[in-house]
Structure 1
Amino acid sequence: MAAVVAGMVIQSTPVSFGAVGTPMIVGVGTGVEPLTQITNLSSFIFEVATKVATLHFIAGLLIPLFLVGILTKFFGKNKSFSEGLKVWKFALFAAFAMTIPYIIVAYLLGPEFPALLGGLIGLAIVIPAAQKGFLMPKEEDVWDFEEKDRWDPTWTGRVELKNSEIYAGKISMWRAWAPYVLIAAFLLISRLTVVGDWLKSATIVVPNIFGTDISSSWEILFSPGFIFILVAVITYVMHGMKPSDFGRAWKASGKTIIGLVIWTIAIYIIATNNKRLDAIGGKKKSA
């Protein structure tokens, strides 16, 4: 329960730029384009993204401290929010380590990179600092969970933690981080004008979907999904994975994707149907 709560709270800062900027590029872009006469949609999305990044930067400064307070309040022996405030120095340092690169990247590179690069840069700064005890609380102020046998049963529910059989052995730190760094590097390279124009040349267009005036296009090589797949294949070689382990990872990912595809198609059908009803209603009003 604590892990889920922590993940949800800490994700509030990068959420608008998650999935390589999809909420901005796809959400704002496709939502605004049919309704306005914006001449330069890319510039408009960039402007919206920078304003959103500024708001997240302001709110994000207190998110780590707020998160620690939630842990001490709801999962601590004394149920005290103030216990979490004892780590305020390190919490603020951790916040700035992520949010400053985050907002700089938003203004310089656009909506695809703030969460990705902000998080990577923040980790690179915070982890070594924590290991050296920088701004860490005094020993008497260190907080931890109680022994597991004293946990509230609702914290774990039916989840059973056990060792994974997939683990194949230790790998070096650089190989562990390499996939994330490669994703960031390939995304940056793909967004260069010359490279991006070449990648966009491979595009699949599906016109008049289901007999409507709605069309869709997929820039295969320019899509962030392609880069994720490419890095996954490179990781398979780099980590010396077994084919069975690689296949198991694809199978697990496939199950998640199938569920999302079903949900997306259902939403798309509803949206298309509503658009038709609106069109019919408009014709009746005109008549």
Structure 2
Amino acid sequence: MTLLQLLTAVMPVVSVFVLLVVLRLPASRAMTLSLLITAALAWLAWRVPGIQLAASVLEGWVVASSIVIIVFGAIVLLNTLKASGALTVIRTSFFHISPDRRVQVIIVAWLFGSFLEGVSGFGTPAAIGAPLLVALGFPAMAAVSLALIADSTAVSFGAVGTPVLVGIAQGLPGTDLEELTAIALTAISIDIVISSFLPLIMCALLTRFFGANRRWREGLALWPFALLSGLAFTVPAWLVAWLLGPEFPSVLGALIGLALMVTAARRGFLLPEKPWRLANDSDLKDDAAPDVTPNLNLWQAWTPYILAVLLLVVTRLDALPLKAWLQGISLGWNNILGTPISASLSPLYLPGTLFALTALITIALHRLPVREAARTWATSARSLLPAIIALGTSLPMVRIFLNSDINASDLAAMPTELAELAAGAIAGYWPLVAPFVGALGTFIAGSATFSNMMFSGLQYEAAVAAELPPRLILALQMLGANAGNMICVMNVVAAAAVVNLNGREGEIIRMTLGPMLYYALGAGLVGMLVVVLV
């Protein structure tokens, strides 16, 4: 690569970071500028044909439409529950489990979010968890940032094992299930050491940036409960991976963790005597809870969420016919503009469609007046515009980056060239670098599955060339892909839209960047230690 080509390859990452995080432009402006810069450099320096660029933009719009559907479904479900009064009842139920806000974050974002990731993926945990935290009284910035941080560990086995069974398997064709399971076990074995501390980090961030006293110490004071919460998910997930394979560790691990930690919280086990409150909770006594809407009981209030989860579960199981039926109703565009690029969309299979269906059912269950329901849907639709602009520019940029393998410069795709350059320059320290390659894939592509699919072959080749255990390096790729989920532009834009933080995406990434670096660097250091000891 020439210097200009190297600049072209790093530009999608650099431009997003500078415009979104450093200059703090709203995503709608930052991603539009990034798209224009990336497309111009791809055409001039990488020599990607104009028709390939146009096809990539169109493919990006198809992908973006699927995310918009998810965001709309999450928003309309949230607004419907607000209008019916269900969220007030749900908020009260959490105060009965524990009034401590740190505990509520762990239960909602870490454990319930991990369950949603295991069932569905597709950004569902942040789309559901963040607004639920807002409904509990958390600041929107705290809700979305902590939900994104929590949606990391479970990603290894998200969407019923898709990052392993599809991502690694397609990235390394011919890999059998036994080897895939071994790679997954290696990843989660390392993850126990790293991810079990994430609930504690989340508590510390909550108290430092959103507490009245702005102290790390108040979050770290919950360390016994927080560490137990981390282990309550990661250890059962490891056991499930060992016994059943890569499909159900996140689902069953999170359910076991929820049962354990909700019981512990109710009994005050490992909790301080005085619960920690947010600044806006100062008017509440320690044993008080918010007022309850009298026309709904707790079961009625939780029914929509239970229904949404059940719909996600039954439509994701291969043993049931619903999955194949919903995926079979697909809108496809093959060989866009005569290029090898194709795109498809299965609208009925998307979580957002199921959320919208749940909202419709909730209108009847909670007897919401038709006029109020119509106003709720109209308000939800109007709130989508900033997210549509941001996603409609960020996803095309991503597809140009990934589809740049067709060019007149005899170069591979930009991410592949960058990874190969890094592999050649620092092969001796590859265990330290491998997670960051995985994180780069998720940051850009918006999917751990796609990151694994894109970089598994390269990671394997780098491991062989450096005489490192391929299984270990592929496990580090998986963990890096998890870490990248915290700062992935697609997830950040979608989650921000759900809690009405459009334009503040850069702030969210600044909040999640530290935990992401901890996760990737921690995995890399453990990988280096394993190489030294073995």
Aligned to 2:426: none
Matched letter for residue 199 of structure 2: P
Does the residue aligned with 2:222 lie in a helix, a strand or coil?
helix
Amino acid at match of 1:87: L
Match of 1:86 among 192, 200, 221: 221
- The equivalent of 1:171 in structure 2 is 296
Q: How does 1:1-287 map to 2 (within 5 A)?
A: 4-5=141-142, 7-9=144-146, 11-15=148-152, 21=158, 38=173, 57-74=192-209, 80-100=215-235, 114=250, 122-123=257-258, 125-139=260-274, 142-144=275-277, 170-190=295-315, 191-195=317-321, 196-271=323-398, 279-282=406-409
Measure the CA separation in 1 of the matches of 2:327 and 2:367.
32
More deviation in 118-127 or 177-186? Answer: 118-127
SS in 2 for 1:11: helix
- Post-superposition Cα deviations, 1:157-206, rounded to whole Å, max 9, x if no partner, equal xxxxxxxxxx9754222222222222222222222334123333322222
The one-letter code of the counterpart of 2:150 is: T
- Alpha-carbon distance change, 6 to 117 in structure 1, aligned in 2, over 3 angstroms: farther
Over residues 252-287 of structure 1, what are the superposed CA-to-partner deviations in whole Å (9 max), with x where a residue is unaligned? 432454433333332344455567875342479xxx
Question: How far does residue 237 in structure 1 lie from its aligned partner after superposition?
Answer: 1.7
Measure the CA separation in 2 of the matches of 1:173 and 1:265: 39
Q: Give the CA deviation at 1:39.
A: 5.0
Determine what percentage of the aligned residue pairs are the same residue. 27
Contact 1:10 1:63 in 2 (8 A): no
Q: CA deviation at 1:71?
A: 4.2
Is 1:9–1:63's contact at 8 Å kept on the other side of the alignment? no
Question: Match for 1:177: what amino acid?
Answer: W
The answer on whether the counterparts of 2:149 and 2:202 sit within 8 Å (CA) in structure 1 is: no
User: Within 1, Cα distance between the matches of 2:298 and 2:206?
Assistant: 29
Query: Take 1:123 and 1:242, find their aligned partners in 2: how far apart are those partners?
Result: 35
Query: Structure 2: which amino acid aligns with 1:265?
Result: G
CA distance in 2, matches of 1:256, 1:119: 32
Distance 1:254 1:236, change over 3 A: same
Q: Do the aligned partners of residues 186 and 220 (structure 1) sit closer, same or farther apart at CA in structure 2, a change above 3 Å counting?
A: same
- The CA distance in 1 between the partners of 2:305 and 2:252, in whole Å, is 10
Query: Equivalents in 2 of 1:100, 1:41: separation in Å?
Result: 25
- The 1:217/1:41 distance shift into structure 2, 3 A limit, reads farther
Shift of 1:216: 1.4
Give the Cα–Cα distance (whole angstroms) in 2 for the partners of residues 83 and 124 of structure 1.
25
Query: Matched residues in 2 for 1:85 and 1:128: separation?
Result: 21
Deviations 1:13-47 (A, max 9, x none): 324757x947x859x968996xx562579999988
SS of 2:406's partner is helix
Any gaps of 5 or more consecutive residues in structure 2?
A: 1-137, 283-291, 412-534
Contact 1:17 1:111 in 2 (8 A): no
Q: Which amino acid aligns with 1:137?
A: P
Q: CA RMSD of the aligned region, Å?
A: 4.6
Alpha-carbon distance in 2 for matches of 1:53, 1:214? 34
TM-score normalized with structure 2 length: 0.39
Equivalents in 2 of 1:223, 1:46: separation in Å? 27
CA distance in 1, matches of 2:345, 2:280: 52
SS of corresponding position for 2:149: coil
Q: What is the rounded CA distance, in whole Å, between the counterparts of 1:69 and 1:144 in structure 2?
A: 13
* Distance change >3 Å, CA 47–CA 2, structure 1 → 2: farther
The TM-score, its normalising length taken from structure 1, stands at 0.64
Cα deviation, 1:138-158, whole Å, max 9, x if unaligned, reads 34xx54456889xxxxxxxxx
Deviation at 1:250, TM superposition (A): 2.4
Q: Secondary structure at the match of 2:344?
A: strand
Inter-partner Cα distance in structure 1 for 2:225 and 2:270: 5
Q: Which residue of 2 aligns with 1:158?
A: none
Deviation of 1:234 after TM superposition, in Å, equals 1.8
For residues 96-123 of structure 1, what are the alpha-carbon distances to aligned partners after superposition, in whole Å with 9 as ceiling and x for unaligned?
4444566667775867993x77666655
Q: Which has the higher contact order (CA 8 A, sep 6+)?
A: 2
Deviation for aligned residue 1:9: 3.5
What is aligned with 2:504?
none
Partner letter of residue 172 of structure 1? Answer: N
> What is the CA–CA distance in structure 2 between the aligned matches of 1:112 and 1:252, rounded to whole Å?
37
Q: Residue type of the partner of 2:201?
A: F
Unaligned runs of 5+ in 1: 150-166
Q: Deviations over 1:76-103 (max 9, x none)?
A: 6765533444332322333344445666
Cα 1:53/1:171, change in 2 over 3 Å: farther
Distance 1:119 1:245, change over 3 A: farther
